[in-house]
Amino acid sequence: QSVLTQPPSVSGAPGQRVTISCTGSSSNIGAGYAVHWYQQLPGTAPRLLIYGNRNRPSGVPDRFSGSRSGPSASLAISGLQAEDEADYYCQSYDSSLSDWVFGGGTKLTVL
């Protein structure tokens, strides 16, 4: 049971916009610790998608965007494509655990 809660699954049709939530608490996201997002395609290593709440590394399409509000963060994917089907993880720091923590992951299905 992670301290960062993500929905187990989300889905959307090609071209649609989906959002994945990452809900924390006052000891992590709510305390102002940055949130990062990773994409993990089947059978591959995670790939950094968003860092520092809303920044995209070079090479990540602007269809991916991140935001944070209070104790929660969100990853939005617009113009959904079949290649976006993957697992998505949020990450932050938790001061109560004194540890870098990941959310449980969300499986995105493109219908």
Partner 1 sequence: QVQLQESGPGLVKPSETLSLTCTVSAYSITSGYNWGWIRQPPGKGLEWIGGIYHSGVTYYNPSLKSRVTISVDTSKNQFSLNLSSVTAADTAVYYCARCSCTSTSCFSDYWGQGTLVTVSA
Contacts of 61 (CB under 8 A, 6+ apart): none
Give me the 1-20 binding string for partner 1, x by CB under 8 A, dash otherwise. -x------------------
Residue among 72 and 89 whose Cβ is closer to partner 1? 89
Residue 30, by phi and psi: left (phi above 0), alpha (psi -120 to 50) or beta? alpha
Closest distance between partner 1 and the C-beta of residue 92, in Å? 8
Pick 61 or 100: Cβ nearer partner 1: 100
Choose between 14 and 57: whose C-beta lies nearer to partner 1.
Answer: 57
* Stretch 26-65: interaction string toward partner 1, x if CB under 8 A: ------xxx-x-x-----xxxxx--xx----x--------
